[in-house]
Chain A
Amino acid sequence: MSHRRGTALRSTFVALALTSACAVFPAMAKERCGYLPGQLRLGAELPKARAAMNARKALEVVALGSSSTQGYGATSPFHSYPAELLRVLQESYPSIKVTVYNRGIGGQDVTQMLERLERDVFAEHPDLVVWQLGTNAALRSQNVAQFHRLLAGGIARMHAKGIEIVLMTPQYAPAFNALENEEDYLAAMREVAQETNVALFPRYEIMKFWFENERLPYARFINRDGLHLNDFGYTCIGRLLGEAIKRAIPR
């Protein structure tokens, strides 16, 4: 190899090393979890949660979902969104015993979650289920009509047991946004929520607001795999969800 090309290669290498060094220091922590006023309105009230709190001085929540419920990509399980949700609810209702069961299993979507409803949800006799889904269905291009049907079926089964539901939409992340028809799954979830009068937590819209309006870079709230949330993302989602649930529980 000629000497000149060696120098060119060497300078490219140094330039690359410098740019990656810049990427190591992201914008420093900002504790604010932003949202638009309407985004914390879940679209349905949670009277049964209130009834349970009045009657039993307890509120039992099951967080059903995939990796972003499990907390994949967080530095520890204490930074998953259900852990933060528990903290928010317990602080807000000190006289109520709040329990949040984390029933997130990575890689799953509506089909596999329906298979474990009995074991993972009904067995705990929860008052409220936060159901996070849609991301894996979209990543695997599940038929949208089938997704719609299975989701509605799952809601009907939970309603039959007298359980209230909050649906959580997919995350705003590079891997999800790059899909061809990710909007279809979001639309299906909104439709089902309206048809069945179920609360919907718009995680996608909130995170989109962070990216587009607050101009937070992806690295601020998304992991370096381009799909999962990081500690900040999970904590904010847990906190905002807790706030939204509090507003939906009648006084």
Chain B
Amino acid sequence: MLIRVPVGRIVASLAAGAALFCIGAVSEAQTAGPKAETTATRPARSTPKSSYSAASAKARRARLARARAAAKAREAREARTPRFRVDESGREVPDVRAEAAIIYDPETREVLWGDHVEDQRSMASITKVMTALVFLDSGADLAMPVTVQRSDVWRASTTYLRSGYKLTAGDLLNLLLVGSDNAAARALARVSPYESTGFIEQMNLLGLVQEPTRAVLETALLRFRPANLDVLPLYIVVLASFALTLPALRRAPWLTLAGSALVYFVARRFGWNLAAFPEGKTWYFDPFMWQLAFYLGAAFAADGRVGERLRPYAKLLAPTAVVTLLIAGFIALSWEFNALGHMVPDWLGRLIYPIDKTTLDPLRLLHFLALAYLAQLLIRPDATFLRWPLASPLRRCGEHSLLVFCIGTFLSFSAHIALDAWGPTLTAQLLVSALGIGVLIAVAYIADWYKKKQAAA
């Protein structure tokens, strides 16, 4: 069973969310100023006295409460008095006490007035809109009884809840949206079908759809790695390492490759991996091991004559590669057909399994090398069929491989969402695949056209 992601519903709620965001931004901006002052004018905590007396403690608390109430009333009075100032162009504009403000017409999408609009700020309570969206989308029952836990209310600055309160998820949702209750947000995440950690991941997914540019940045910082995009951080880390190793790669590619292989074997021996979010998790593609695949390619490219160098050994290498692929094909088919599954002898199974992906099992590397060797043997760069019009999309994609790879990564994620929404039927899979390949080819052609235009100019 898959979790269905109702795409239509998400889009609709996103539109609603965007509108809410604007309203929220205005109201947040209006209230931010007084709030900041509250913390500033709050009386300093009196120094502890040497002896404790219940009566004096009570009196002190009452005094503090009175002072707080008076300060609050003063701020409220001040906030209600409208103030104006004249801006640089001589117009009279509201003198907003908040640090930033925006007035936005959601219908015409026009920004009517703004002050420090471009400043980056934390999202603060706007995240509650997303919390509500994700919770509603999870299909959780609003009548579900919830008991507030100590962890929900612990250090939650704004809350009407106390540990042990019993109420429904619907009540919590109201508290979240109307009262901006922090503890309610935590409790909802906790009781959602995803639990707290999973809930954050769901919000991250929503974030990708809602704020693509921000998500790209977070992905670049290697923090945000939703399903199917695990390969991106690996790519970034290895490419970054090329900045340091490129001089060595150009001068002594095979020595550099030997260094890379050493890292691979040592890392496999000691099980090195990088930590990932959430806590306790590690990278799905272990960079210490997968770097070898990249450095193999880099060394081959730097040498430039690997094909020629291997030519004298073709009599030995070509049959070896074919046998390797035949065995690999047989093993792969043994997972699909039980009759073949029974035919794999135990000694072979012990030898090859598990064919681990995280640690780049040597068999995966061997399989790739055999395939690559045969491909370069069979397909010469001047082969006639490469000039057929039918092969042209393939060539274009190869010429812009980095771009095609990057777009492909995001497409695979979109495909994941689409298949989750429609169900993994054969038609849907074929349709999604055909569409994805079509987009990739189109991207390659556009990149080619763009490049030619630039060259001409």
Cβ contact of B334, chosen from A12, A99, A107, A218, cutoff 8 A: A218
CB distance from B59 to the nearest CB of A (A): 41
Cβ contact of B227, chosen from A31, A75, A99, cutoff 8 A: A75
Q: By the criterion of a CB under 8 Å from any partner CB, how many residues of chain B are at the interface?
A: 56
23 A-B pairs within 8 Å (CB atoms) are namely A1-B377, A9-B322, A9-B374, A16-B326, A23-B335, A26-B336, A58-B147, A75-B227, A76-B3, A76-B227, A83-B198, A84-B1, A97-B145, A174-B353, A178-B346, A178-B348, A179-B346, A180-B346, A180-B350, A211-B341, A217-B337, A225-B354, A225-B356
Q: Are B425 and A175 in contact (CB under 8 A)?
A: no
Q: Are A217 and B378 in contact (CB under 8 A)?
A: no
Q: With A6-B378, A19-B333 as given contacts, are A175 and B322 in contact (CB-CB < 8 Å)?
A: no
Q: What 1/0 flags go to A17-43 for Cβ under 8 Å of B?
A: 001101101101101000000000000
For window 207-235 of chain A, which residues contact chain B by CB distance below 8 Å? 211, 215, 217-219, 222, 224-228, 231, 235
Q: Is A95 in contact with chain B by the CB < 8 A criterion?
A: yes
Q: With A180-B346, A217-B341 as given contacts, are A222 and B335 in contact (CB-CB < 8 Å)?
A: yes
- Complex CA–CA separation, A228 to B423 (angstroms): 23
Cβ contact of A226, chosen from B197, B355, B424, cutoff 8 A: B355
Q: With A20-B329, A75-B227, A97-B145 as given contacts, are A219 and B338 in contact (CB-CB < 8 Å)?
A: no
Cβ contact of B349, chosen from A20, A94, A175, cutoff 8 A: A175
Q: Which residues of B contact A57 (CB under 8 A)?
A: 145
Q: Is B402 in contact with chain A by the CB < 8 A criterion?
A: no
The size bracket of the interface on A is 35 or more
Q: Are B426 and A86 in contact (CB under 8 A)?
A: no
Q: Is B194 in contact with chain A by the CB < 8 A criterion?
A: yes
Q: Are A23 and B336 in contact (CB under 8 A)?
A: yes
Cβ contact of A78, chosen from B194, B326, B334, B341, cutoff 8 A: B194
Q: Are B318 and A235 in contact (CB under 8 A)?
A: no
Q: Are B341 and A174 in contact (CB under 8 A)?
A: yes
Q: A179-B350, A218-B338 are in contact. List 5 more A-B contacts (CB 8 A).
A: A99-B195, A180-B350, A218-B336, A224-B335, A226-B352
Q: Are A29 and B377 in contact (CB under 8 A)?
A: no
- Complex CA–CA separation, A177 to B347 (angstroms): 11
Chain B residues packing against A (C-beta within 8 Å):
1-3, 141, 144-147, 191, 193-195, 197-198, 201, 227-228, 271, 280, 282, 314, 318, 322, 325-326, 329, 332-338, 341, 344, 346-350, 352-358, 361, 374, 377-378, 416, 423-426
Q: Is A77 in contact with chain B by the CB < 8 A criterion?
A: yes
Chain A residues packing against B (C-beta within 8 Å):
1, 6, 9-10, 12-13, 16, 19-20, 22-23, 25-26, 28-29, 31, 57-58, 72, 75-79, 83-84, 86-87, 90, 94-95, 97, 99-100, 105-107, 139, 174-175, 177-180, 211, 215, 217-219, 222, 224-228, 231, 235
Q: Are A226 and B280 in contact (CB under 8 A)?
A: no
- Complex CA–CA separation, A95 to B144 (angstroms): 8
Q: Which residues of A contact B349 (CB under 8 A)?
A: 174-175, 177-178, 226
- Complex CA–CA separation, A217 to B340 (angstroms): 10
Kindly report which residue of chain B lies nearest to residue A74, judged by CB atoms. B227
- Complex CA–CA separation, A84 to B282 (angstroms): 22
Q: With A19-B333, A76-B227, A97-B191 as given contacts, are A9 and B378 in contact (CB-CB < 8 Å)?
A: yes
Kindly report which residue of chain A lies nearest to residue B349, judged by CB atoms. A178
Q: Are B341 and A218 in contact (CB under 8 A)?
A: yes
Cβ contact of A105, chosen from B280, B336, B356, cutoff 8 A: B280
Q: Which residues of A contact B336 (CB under 8 A)?
A: 22-23, 26, 217-219
Q: Which residues of B contact A235 (CB under 8 A)?
A: 1
- Complex CA–CA separation, A225 to B359 (angstroms): 11
Q: Are A225 and B147 in contact (CB under 8 A)?
A: no
| Most chain B beta-carbon contacts within 10 A, residue among A25, A28, A179, A218 | A218
Q: Are A107 and B335 in contact (CB under 8 A)?
A: no
